[in-house]
Amino acid sequence: MTLKIGVIGTGAIGKEHINRITNKLSGATIVAVTDVDAAQAQQAASITNVNARVHSTGQQVIADADVDAVIVTSWGPTHEEYVLAAIAAGKPVFCEKPLATTAEGCRRIVEAEMAHGKKLVQVGFMRRYDQGYRALKEVVDSGNLGAPLIINCAHRNPAFPFFTDDMAITDSFVHEIDILRWMLQDEYISAQVILPRSSSLVARDLQDPHIILLETRAGVRISTEVFINCQYGYDISCQVVNEKGIAYLPEPASVTTRSNAVTATPILQDWKLRFTQAFDTEFQEWISATQRGVVEGPNAWDGYVVSLTSDACVQAKHEKRIVPIDIPAKPAFYA
Ligand code: NAI
Ligand code: ISE
């Protein structure tokens, strides 16, 4: 059975996902789209292979009887309303991060889904599908290097002119929050944010970079540099220090050249290229799981825990102190 999908929000990532589902993946077709910018929606409809219907609102996409499942790729503050509406309609929904812009909003989604009685929501934490992170997790899980003790990460974007101060945490660092608790199967207990000298190349009221420190229940210490305007490229790194050795996230494959007295290896410039394989696998697996009526990827509870943790990081930054994180017990519904 071909899964018929409606997409809400057809900007950068919405079009990326429409393109991959239409031209690369199997088992699904985009039958309806919407965007508050009608021109964006028309353009997105034209890249679907069935000339998808263009609706005026997200609510109409969800109510469309021909839509089996919904993808939400509109701006973050609109996600909660659409995810709640999809749950109310009993339709599976894939929501790009963030699930909601506040932990309370995520909690409302968790409660609505539990009241509905069946999991419907998946959140777009695509790093769990990246071959590199999966290989790194396998090494950590094998125990061959002993227990993990320290993790050092960097999350660098070349430039994001529209970023406001806390988006480094709420829009970017959320990926590390998710991937590291998934890799360690552990939860965070405290957050601290250290503000180094800020780059002179960003607006004067913007702090960039940040150093974010997390501590887990097992005592693992995590340090992440989040640098949104690093200028030189999109650069994601992760190094796990274990009792008997160090494991590194693999670098994306690229050709090194030696010419004109220079050795050069290109660096990718954005998330679309760095995580193409991860997004493709994420959606192929989501289509397959949705056809089987299950949610196997990051779920609403994961979205809620990430949001609680990111709220603690924002608080730690503004209050200049270590903030405890108290993650509630996971309901059996999400076990
Ligand atoms: P964008 O600004 O390019 O596109 C968002 C689109 O949503 C725009 O076309 C806008 O007109 C539309 N929109 C806004 N409010 C709407 C509403 N109420 N109903 C329908 N459409 C509406 O933004 P982008 O980069 O595509 O990001 C969208 C979401 O995807 C964000 O939540 C962002 O955090 C997430 N994202 C995730 C990435 C990842 O690595 N997983 C990468 C980039 C974005
Ligand atoms: C963007 O929204 C993403 O989700 C990317 O994966 C991340 O690297 C970037 O920093 C965010 O702004």
Annotate 142-192 with DSSP letters as a single string: H-TT-SEEEEEEEEE-S--TT--TTHIIIIIIHHHHHHHHHHHT--EEEEE
Evaluate: CB of 138 within 6 angstroms of ligand 1: no
Cβ atoms of residues 191 and 322 within 8 Å: yes
Report the residue among 175, 228, 274, 276 best suited for mutation to probe ligand 2: largest number of ligand atoms under 8 A from its CB.
Answer: 175
Report the share of the chain in percent with pLDDT over 70: 100
Q: Residue 299 is encoded by which pair of tokens?
A: 């779920």
Evaluate: CB of 176 within 6 angstroms of ligand 1: no
Q: Is the peptide bond before 98 cis (omega within 30 degrees of 0)?
A: yes
The pLDDT value given to residue 49: 79
pLDDT in tens, 263-304: 999 999 999 999 999 999 999 999 999 999 999 999 999 999
Cβ atoms of residues 168 and 239 within 8 Å: no
Q: Kindly state the average pLDDT of the residues 141-156.
A: 98
Q: Which residues contact 177 (CB under 8 A, 6 or more apart)?
A: 188, 214, 306, 309, 310, 313
Q: Residue 276 is encoded by which pair of tokens?
A: 């193409």
What is the CA(155)–ligand 2 centre distance, in A?
A: 9
From atom 8 of ligand 1, which residue's Cα is the shortest distance away? 11
| Mean of per-residue pLDDT scores for the chain | 97
Report the residue among 73, 79, 164, 166 best suited for mutation to probe ligand 1: largest number of ligand atoms under 8 A from its CB.
Answer: 73
Report the share of the chain in percent with pLDDT over 90: 96
The pLDDT value given to residue 143: 98
The pLDDT value given to residue 331: 98
Evaluate: CB of 122 within 6 angstroms of ligand 2: no
- Rounded CA-CA distance 34/202 in Å is 34
The pLDDT value given to residue 204: 84
What is the CA(137)–ligand 1 centre distance, in A?
A: 29
- Rounded CA-CA distance 259/181 in Å is 43
Residue 149: CB atoms within 10 Å:
13
Q: Residue 292 is encoded by which pair of tokens?
A: 């089987």
Query: Is this structure's pTM higher than 0.95?
Result: yes
Kindly tell me if the per-residue pLDDT of 164 is higher than 90: no
pLDDT in tens, 118-148: 999 999 999 999 999 999 999 999 999 999 9
Kindly tell me if the per-residue pLDDT of 90 is higher than 90: yes
From atom 11 of ligand 2, which residue's Cα is the shortest distance away? 172
Kindly tell me if the per-residue pLDDT of 88 is higher than 90: yes
| Residue 234 per-residue DSSP state | -
The pLDDT value given to residue 84: 98
The pLDDT value given to residue 189: 98
Residue type, 161: P
Q: Residue 307 is encoded by which pair of tokens?
A: 């949001």
Placement of tokens 């509870």 in the chain = 301
What is the CA(132)–ligand 2 centre distance, in A?
A: 18
The pLDDT value given to residue 162: 85
The pLDDT value given to residue 42: 96
